[in-house]
């Protein structure tokens, strides 16, 4: 590049050229423009002559980099934020809404390289949020809930159930054999699937969920998760905002969660004993949680345990 610039200056007399690695720039008098046919644009005369020289010697260049004006950005160094700037941004977001939109930002500050899709998600959501309603934000328990769900997962399946309109409805889903995710992922996915199914099927405002996994409870209480689980949390929060519902996730001991456990294991013998009149359905988790874009939840009737 140094040799090419020497030729441009001392042979082609394109004077006052400067460079940073392979980014070349300079100056010209205002209004001194020349037409460069390959890009069908007018550029400062010195810039046009340099492009024609690059063409003559076969040096490649791109049209988007051919900028000019009274101010010129040579390198986008300013786009790389400092740690202090990331900390400021995280503080502002945390002050307005402590939630899953901070996950990538915190990992970025920890030195990891991730996309900013969750920060963009936060920007979209904070623009439409209606603010905190003090009365709606009061603590409430399962006694006040419109619907109470019971969830569980095992290495081979997921299950949840609830009572509604004098009926006991159970849902189960097989976990693919070729998955590489830990069991905790499917514990969370079961909770997300249960809530999304309920708000799609019923007109409810308060949904209370029981699970026997304390890590799942902690994640939904803090609205904070590692990157593997954060898309699940984003999916749930996204639908909670759109549907204007409230949900609570609480712990239940495994001995009291036998029906959900039997559903996850597809253990019909135990289900006949614990819930003989239950209607059982197969369900498919929301596709967004499998890495897709759709939030559709599907379920199909499998059998009636009492039949």
Alpha helices, DSSP H, located in 135-229: 183-201, 214-222
Is 88 among the domain residues? Answer: yes
CATH of the domain at 151: 3.30.420.10
Note the Cα 100 to chain centre separation in Å: 8
Let me know whether 199 and 288 are in one domain. Answer: yes
> For the chain, how many structural domains are there in total?
3
What's the pLDDT score for residue 201?
Answer: 83
The helix/strand/coil state of 182 is: coil
| Per-residue pLDDT tens over the stretch 158-205 | 999 999 888 999 999 999 888 888 999 999 999 999 999 888 888 888
Segment 251-269 shows an average pLDDT of 96
Q: Count the Cβ atoms, other than its own, within 10 Å of residue 282.
A: 15
SS (H, E, C) 224-280: CCCCCCHHHHHHHHHHHHHHCCEEEEEECCHHHCHHHHHHHHCCHHHHHHHCCCCEE
Torsion angles phi and psi, residue 32, rounded to 5 = -85, 80
Compare 207 and 237 and report the one with higher pLDDT.
207
Let me know whether 153 and 56 are in one domain. Answer: no
Is 134 among the domain residues? Answer: no
Query: Is residue 146 pLDDT above 60, yes or no?
Result: yes
If phi over 0 gives left and psi between -120 and 50 gives alpha, with beta otherwise, what is residue 16? Answer: left
Mean pLDDT of the chain: 80
Is 136 among the domain residues? Answer: no
Let me know whether 220 and 264 are in one domain. Answer: yes
Let me know whether 97 and 173 are in one domain. Answer: no
- Residue 33 DSSP class: E
Contacts of 143 (CB under 8 A, 6+ apart): none
Let me know whether 154 and 270 are in one domain. Answer: yes
Identify the domain containing residue 39 by its residue range. Answer: 2-65
0.75 exceeded by pTM: no
Let me know whether 197 and 287 are in one domain. Answer: yes
What's the pLDDT score for residue 300?
Answer: 57
- Residue 74 DSSP class: S
Let me know whether 102 and 168 are in one domain. Answer: no
What percent of the chain lies above the pLDDT cut of 90?
40
What's the pLDDT score for residue 200?
Answer: 84
Let me know whether 31 and 58 are in one domain. Answer: yes
Is 73 among the domain residues? Answer: no
Let me know whether 40 and 153 are in one domain. Answer: no
Let me know whether 109 and 187 are in one domain. Answer: no
In this structure, of 188-192, 205-209, 221-225, the range with the lowest mean pLDDT score is 221-225
């Amino acid at each position: 590049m140094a040799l090419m610039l020497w030729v441009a200056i001392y042979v082609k007399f394109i004077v006052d050229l400067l460079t940073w690695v392979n980014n070349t720039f300079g100056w010209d008098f205002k209004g001194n423009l020349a037409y460069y046919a390959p890009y069908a644009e007018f550029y400062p005369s010195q810039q046009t002559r340099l492009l024609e020289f690059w063409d003559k010697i076969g040096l490649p260049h791109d049209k988007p980099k051919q900028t000019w004006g009274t101010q010129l950005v040579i390198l986008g160094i300013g786009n790389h934020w400092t740690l202090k700037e990331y900390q400021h941004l995280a503080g502002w977001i945390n002050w307005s809404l402590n939630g899953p939109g901070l996950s990538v930002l915190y990992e970025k500050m920890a030195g990891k390289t991730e996309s900013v899709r969750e920060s963009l998600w936060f920007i979209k959501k904070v623009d439409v949020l209606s603010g905190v309603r003090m009365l709606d934000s009061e603590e409430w328990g399962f006694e006040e809930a419109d619907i109470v769900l019971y969830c569980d997962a095992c290495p081979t399946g997921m299950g949840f159930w609830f009572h509604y309109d004098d009926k006991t409805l159970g849902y189960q889903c097989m976990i693919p054999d070729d998955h590489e995710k830990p069991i905790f992922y499917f514990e969370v996915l079961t909770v997300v699937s249960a809530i999304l199914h309920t708000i799609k099927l019923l007109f409810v405002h308060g949904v209370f969920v029981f699970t026997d996994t304390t890590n799942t409870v902690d994640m939904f209480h803090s609205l904070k998760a590692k990157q593997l689980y954060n898309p699940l949390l984003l999916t749930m929060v996204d639908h909670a905002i759109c549907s204007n519902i409230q949900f609570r996730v609480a712990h239940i001991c495994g001995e009291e969660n036998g029906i959900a456990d039997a559903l996850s294991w597809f253990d019909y013998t135990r289900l006949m004993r614990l819930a003989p009149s239950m209607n059982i359905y197969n369900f498919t988790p929301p596709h967004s949680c499998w890495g897709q874009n759709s939030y559709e939840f599907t379920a199909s009737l499998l059998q009636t345990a009492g039949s």
